[in-house]
Chains A and B, each alone.
Chain A
Amino acid sequence: MRAFGYDLDDLVVAHVLLALIPVILGLLIALPLGWWAHRSAGARRVLVPLSGALYTVPSLALIVFIPVILGTPILSPVNVGLTLTIYTVALLVRSVAEALDAVPENVTTAALAVGYRPSGLFFGVQLPLAVPVLTAGLRVASVSAFSLVTVGALVGIQSLGTLMTDGFQQDYTAMVVTGIVGSVLLAFLFDALWLALGRTLTPWSRARTGV
């Protein structure tokens, strides 16, 4: 679909990829870090405040400085992707640690006692049981990424944010509104998706009273 001189489908796809890939990458990076923070009090004392501090760095500053540090082209979408990955990690390290903390100790003890090895314990018992708390964290990170992706438009990285920056320059309100509504809808859509995924993965958590 074309509008305002842009192919909207392309903008939507770019927007989704630019937000979704960092969310998934960030989760994959946050899992081992959060596990480490869960295991070691020392690691937690460093990782949790550090990731909290990372989140306070302004996104535009990161997007501009990453090419300076890594030597990536200034117009590369990687700069935005990397920025959002960092934010996702910053948000999720604490979530992962807390999600793992929430797994009852007698369950992990029982798992070890019946002969799980550490990897089996993590993937077979701890991670599935961490899903409810983890989903909550992931939803926050996802909404945050879907809205921050628009900042990339300021340095010329295409997304629905482009409609906002261009619309603003052309004093074209409908264009700006389309950008805003579109990115909000996408954020909602993926939020619902994580929610549904979390529920599908945890049929046991709703069975409490269903005797």
Chain B
Amino acid sequence: MIEFRDVGKRFADGTVGLEALSMTAREGEITVLVGPSGCGKTTSLRTVNRMVEPTSGAVYLDGRDVSRGDPADLRRGIGYVIQQAGLFPHRRVIDNVATVPVLKGLSRREARARAAEVLERVGLDGALAQRWPAQLSGGQQQRVGVARALAGDAPVLLMDEPFSAVDPVVRVELQDELLRLQADLGKTILFVTHDIDEAIRLGDRVAVLRVGGRLAQFAPPDELLAAPVDDFVSGFVGRDRGYRRLGFVPATALRLVDLPTRADANGDSPDSTDRAVPGEWTVLLDGSERPAAWLGPDGARHELGSVYVTDGDDAAADAAGTLRGALDAALSSPAGRGVAVDGAGRYRGGVDTDAVLALLDRSSPS
């Protein structure tokens, strides 16, 4: 648990980084600090491991005032992931990851064994272990950065815009990876970002900060989307928040409908007119029951559109089992009905737009 009690920071030049921040990041949760630049989010993160010393107030880590004791010892007990990874260019990947175990006094051999375990855990190929950081892609470097932070086995992780320098596709991969790791490890994570979508995707609770480190709202993401406290927060949360909130509304009550299906025998045959059901859209299934395409009433193959995943077996699969996923499947399908699959991608049924809208009607916040 990380507790900020009236933490203030006034810099030497007189600018106020933080006024008096009070908030608590709960044990085992991802707490996201989000806000415009200059809102003091990085400053507040850095007061936790004393890269910044507050000028008033104090930070407590599991009830202990962090300002007591040696800062280097404190930092070895807190994982830290920095923007653009900040890997040591002169050390091979494995030794970058082994840094904290070595600092904590493990022998190089033990530290490397530990590092190899963690590299595997973050999904990095063992062959990369002997590379230099400059030989990795941005996404790989950031994974190594996460591995380095995990290798010390710290229960607390500070992440300072760790995914902001990679392209959007890789960013989503890294976010998924983090959620997967977190499901396993249950760390107490304080995560800084300027990207509200990232905040909503990752945070168990999200703190929206105004300039000067004033807490505008601190709430779980669905609450933030449903009920922003003021214009600043709603402006920051952005457009479509009603739609985005659907990503947090479970669609367990949604009844799937039956759709005509048939085996997709020869998908590449252009001449399948004879197999079309007049006036009907049919789902073509491959050998393992996975939907491959729509067969239109015109006899032509059509794109499936986005499919609705009913059970979030993979916790990271966005919008799995939520109204947002169901609505998106219904709206993006050429057939007017969406296709639902289970966690393994097997056909489950159809999503009827009216059924989704009826559920929506019942679930909308007063």
B-contacting residues of A (Cβ < 8 Å)? 104, 106-107, 109-117, 120, 125, 128-129, 202-205, 207-208, 210-211
Q: With CB as the reference atom, state the residue of chain A lying closest to B103.
A: A115
A113 vs B134: C-alpha distance in the bound complex, in angstroms? 21
Known: A115-B73, A207-B132, A207-B135. A128 touches B90 (CB 8 A): yes
Q: How many A-B residue pairs have CB under 8 A?
A: 72
Q: With CB as the reference atom, state the residue of chain A lying closest to B79.
A: A114
Q: With CB as the reference atom, state the residue of chain B lying closest to A111.
A: B88
Is A204 a contact of B49 with CB atoms below 8 Å? no
Partner of B86, one of A109, A128, A129, A205: A109
Partner of B90, one of A110, A116, A202: A202
Is B80's CB within 8 Å of the partner chain A? yes
Known: A204-B134, A208-B134. A115 touches B83 (CB 8 A): no
Is B80 a contact of A110 with CB atoms below 8 Å? yes
Is B100 a contact of A115 with CB atoms below 8 Å? yes
Which chain B residues border A115 with CB–CB below 8 Å?
Answer: 72-76, 100, 103
Is B88 a contact of A113 with CB atoms below 8 Å? no
B residues contacting the other copy or chain, number (CB 8 A): 30
Label chain A's interface by main secondary structure. Answer: helix
- Which residues from 111 to 169 on chain B have a C-beta closer than 8 Å to any C-beta of chain A? 131-135, 148-149, 152, 158
Q: With CB as the reference atom, state the residue of chain B lying closest to A201.
A: B90
Which chain B residues border A117 with CB–CB below 8 Å?
Answer: 72
Partner of B87, one of A107, A116, A128, A207: A107
Is B89's CB within 8 Å of the partner chain A? yes
Q: With CB as the reference atom, state the residue of chain B lying closest to A210.
A: B135
Contacts A/B (CB < 8 Å), 14 sampled:
A106-B83, A110-B82, A113-B75, A114-B99, A114-B103, A114-B148, A114-B152, A115-B74, A115-B103, A116-B103, A117-B72, A120-B103, A204-B89, A204-B134
Is B56's CB within 8 Å of the partner chain A? no
A208 vs B135: C-alpha distance in the bound complex, in angstroms? 6
Is B83 a contact of A107 with CB atoms below 8 Å? no
Least CB distance, B284 to chain A, in whole angstroms: 41
Q: With CB as the reference atom, state the residue of chain B lying closest to A121.
A: B72
Is B72 a contact of A106 with CB atoms below 8 Å? no
Is B333's CB within 8 Å of the partner chain A? no
Which chain A residues border B83 with CB–CB below 8 Å?
Answer: 106
Least CB distance, B214 to chain A, in whole angstroms: 26
Known: A106-B86, A110-B80, A129-B90. A116 touches B72 (CB 8 A): yes
Which chain B residues border A204 with CB–CB below 8 Å?
Answer: 89-91, 132-134
A6 vs B189: C-alpha distance in the bound complex, in angstroms? 75
Is A114 a contact of B100 with CB atoms below 8 Å? yes
Partner of B51, one of A107, A112, A128: A112
Which chain A residues border B22 with CB–CB below 8 Å?
Answer: none
Known: A110-B80, A129-B89. 4 other contacts (CB 8 A): A109-B86, A114-B75, A114-B149, A210-B135
